[in-house]
Structure 1
Amino acid sequence: MSDRTAASLRVEALSYGFGDGRHLVDAVDLTAAPGETVGLVGPNGSGKTTLLRCVYGALRPTHGRALLDGDDLHTMTAKARARRVGTVPQDGQTDFELTVREVVAMGRSPHRRFWEADTAADTALADAALDRVGIAALAHRDFPSLSGGERQRALVARALVQRPALFVLDEPTNHLDIRYQLEVLTLMKELAATKLLALHDLNLAAYYCDRLYVLEAGTVVASGTPAEVLTPALLAAVYEVEAEVTPHPRTGAPTVVYLPEPPAPST
């Protein structure tokens, strides 16, 4: 399976809110250069998932736009968008009454007409993707029977089969044990395509992402390289935790060590 072509992403003043003035995402500007891996970090409820859903088309922004190589993603048809954007949602769906291989092969549907069946090339792509994420042995299992981590890897394989120029991934390591967290993120990092992903684990974000955007209450409060963004001052302000941040002696990536609050003195 060869790598797919990368694309540039530009999010311009994107907002998503309600008629009463509440905004889940508020005037976000964001860029990702071709081939870049860009991470979204921030506390729960900061707007990461909403922003990603606006980018990949599950939600329509109330203001602003998302451009892929200059083309507005929200003026495309769903099928045209799916040919260019591969998505891995936060929680694997469980209502597919299909085998794992059939779910993965769904990634080819944007590239063919409605009535066309899978070709031998489609099947080969699906098998290669299953092997690449380590679940080839599960190809004939029913998708709902999989564990959360197995479903997540199957959805990563489905996105690979789409062969998109942009991957949008919402907590792609969700439900995965440590080995597969590293394998999935390494796989994504190695792809030529552009990647936009939300991560809770700041140390994984620091190691695998070229740049980070920090969201708080729906707005971007910091952006830059992991070393520029992940500072004790920012972690205290945004996450309300005390932490030490030092370069890892082997990787050079910022490493965050959280410091628990001392217990209250007994009386």
Structure 2
Amino acid sequence: MSGRRPVELAVEAVRYSVEGHTLLHGVDLAARPGETVGVVGPNGSGKTTLLRCVYGALRPTAGRVLLDGADAAGLGAKDRARRVAVVPQDAAGTFGLTVREVVAMGRSPHKRFWEQDGPDDVRRVAEALETVGAGDFADRPYDGLSGGERQRALVARALVQDPGLLALDEPTNHLDIRYQLEVLGLVRALPATALLVLHDLNLAASYCDRLYVLSGGRVAASGTPAQVLTEELLAEVYGVRTRVTTHPATAAPNIVYLPPGGHRAEGGGPGRAG
């Protein structure tokens, strides 16, 4: 897949409030061009709210989001869509569109109004469908897909958009282990900056260059996975007991969750937090 130049992202003192309730308290975040940055934290910590501020679904109450130094608030919808592609947890109803038609919508920012798909658009859509393993159900109605099939279609739609920045909210949601690994490996290999909201801390440790841990709408820690994913921080932020070791195959932190009360789990495993 081709792509535009990776975007440099800067989130500066972003605050977001709704109905008198503050969800983000002056969050700072940065992603260098081509970097894969993960946002992790317990439920309700502000992860999805932050991501929605980055891709423009929400406008920060204060602070700003910069894309290559330009304030994203000043960009038109089409210009923003040329720079940023979004993979939400799920998409709204598509009124009977097939998977292929949903994926083809990713080409819209690069075409004039009512312009038909050309041969290159058709080829790019077919490539994206095969890349995410959706070729076999490309002509089925999107609304009739399973959660995992929908997620793969949404990733394919983002790929054909040629983004400089990919914003992904739980991209492994509904996926079995094989497709979790394939989708995250694909994100890592793309010529784009990526900002991912993830719950699975072991996946975040394996596939992200750096992590930001949110707690109560604030950044509790940031740095490499090894710097951030410590037993002390996980106890403080998530309220869980863990053993953190270095994975022998990947050299990434490997987290084993322990039951409360001081009894170590038999075997252990990746598990999920938050």
Question: How many corresponding residue pairs?
Answer: 263
Corresponding residue for 1:258? 257
Corresponding residue for 1:15? 15
CA drift at 1:263: 9.0
Q: What do residues 188-247 of structure 1 show as CA deviations (whole Å, max 9, x unaligned)?
A: 001120000000000000000000000001110100000000000000000000000000
Letter in 2 for 1:12: E
Corresponding residue for 1:108? 107
Measured in 1, the distance between the counterparts of 2:262 and 2:2 equals 54
Q: TM-score, normalised by structure 2?
A: 0.94
Measured in 2, the distance between the counterparts of 1:96 and 1:158 equals 17
Indicate the RMSD between aligned Cα atoms, in angstroms. Answer: 1.3
Unaligned runs of 5+ in 2: 264-274
C-alpha contact 2:34 2:194 (8 A) present in aligned 1: yes
CA drift at 1:3: 4.1
Corresponding residue for 2:148? 149
Corresponding residue for 2:272? none
Partner of 2:107, secondary structure, is helix
Aligned ranges 1:23-62 → 2 under 5 Å: 23-62=22-61
Corresponding residue for 1:242? 241
Aligned ranges 1:1-267 → 2 under 5 Å: 1-18=1-18, 20=20, 22-262=21-261
Measured in 1, the distance between the counterparts of 2:180 and 2:161 equals 21
C-alpha contact 1:4 1:191 (8 A) present in aligned 2: no
C-alpha contact 1:34 1:193 (8 A) present in aligned 2: yes
C-alpha contact 1:92 1:148 (8 A) present in aligned 2: no
Letter in 2 for 1:138: F
CA drift at 1:96: 3.9
Measured in 1, the distance between the counterparts of 2:106 and 2:223 equals 33
Q: TM-score, normalised by structure 1?
A: 0.96
C-alpha contact 2:3 2:163 (8 A) present in aligned 1: no
The percentage of aligned residue pairs carrying the same residue is 65
Partner of 1:53, secondary structure, is helix
Letter in 1 for 2:211: L
Which is worse superposed, 110-119 or 29-38? 110-119
Letter in 2 for 1:166: L
CA drift at 1:48: 0.3
Partner of 1:90, secondary structure, is coil
